[in-house]
A = this chain, B = another copy of it.
Amino acid sequence: MLLPLTNQSTLTHIFIVLFGLEMQQTSHIVWHKHQLTKAERAQQKSQKPCLIWFTGLSGAGKSTLANALELELYRRGHHTYLLDGDNVRHGLTKDLGFSDKDRVENIRRIGEAAKLFVDAGLIVLSAFISPFSDDRKIVRDLFDAGEFVEVFVNTPLAVCEMRDPKGLYKKARSGEIKNFTGIDSDYEPPSHAECTIDTSMAEVEASVAKLITYMQLSGIIK
């Protein structure tokens, strides 16, 4: 058990008087600073850390592509992490709703978390609809040049709606869900995405190969 702070303080003052030099020496050593850097963490992992940001309509194939790319990077010995609704929505951003303010804060917080992961030396992948250019720009601006790779999963709406894996388009069309991206809320396509992929026109394997090539050419991986 600890003594109350005031008593502890008095006792320690006596201790300092008795063993003053010893104490000062120990205290001094404590303040030496050694900090592991982002560069050291990245070098250890033989990769250039970055955020691969998948954006596109619901059902476009963002999560599928991100998962497949992560698996391929893992097979090649890279150190990655995938941020998506499954691991973020019920934790880091669980206090947020769907108001405009909360939507912006949601993307901002994901961006800031991703920035920490990049600082940790990892290749981070994220899969969020992120329909608005301004929100995506907030995230892009958090990163150094070349660290933010925007992947526009440009699968046509009709294909996404045909897939409708969670039945959300059906609900949006019937009016059960409001403000659904692509139905009654806009999707603003990226104007300068680093990569664009249409999953209705290419197999997952080919799309992953395209992304791997991009990552090699830009020096993210070897």
Contact = CB atoms under 8 A, between A and B. Distances in A.
Nearest to A111: B91
A21 interface: no
A105 interface: yes
Interface in A35-89: 35-36, 40-41, 44-45, 61, 64, 67-68, 70-71, 74, 77, 79-83, 87-88
Number of copies: 2
Chain A contact residues (Cβ within 8 angstroms of B): what range? 35 or more
A199 B28 CA distance: 11
Contact of A189 (B2, B32, B71, B79): B2
B8 A80 contact: no
A15 B198 CA distance: 14
Given A9-B156, A36-B67, A80-B36, A26 B199 contact: yes
A139 to B, nearest CB: 12
Contact of A27 (B11, B87, B159): B159
Interface string A181-212: 01000110100000000011111100000000
13 contacts: A11-B156, A12-B158, A26-B203, A27-B159, A30-B61, A31-B163, A31-B165, A34-B71, A36-B67, A36-B74, A44-B79, A91-B142, A117-B117
* 6 smallest beta-carbon distances between A and B, as pairs: A12-B158, A12-B156, A81-B120, A91-B112, A92-B112, A9-B157
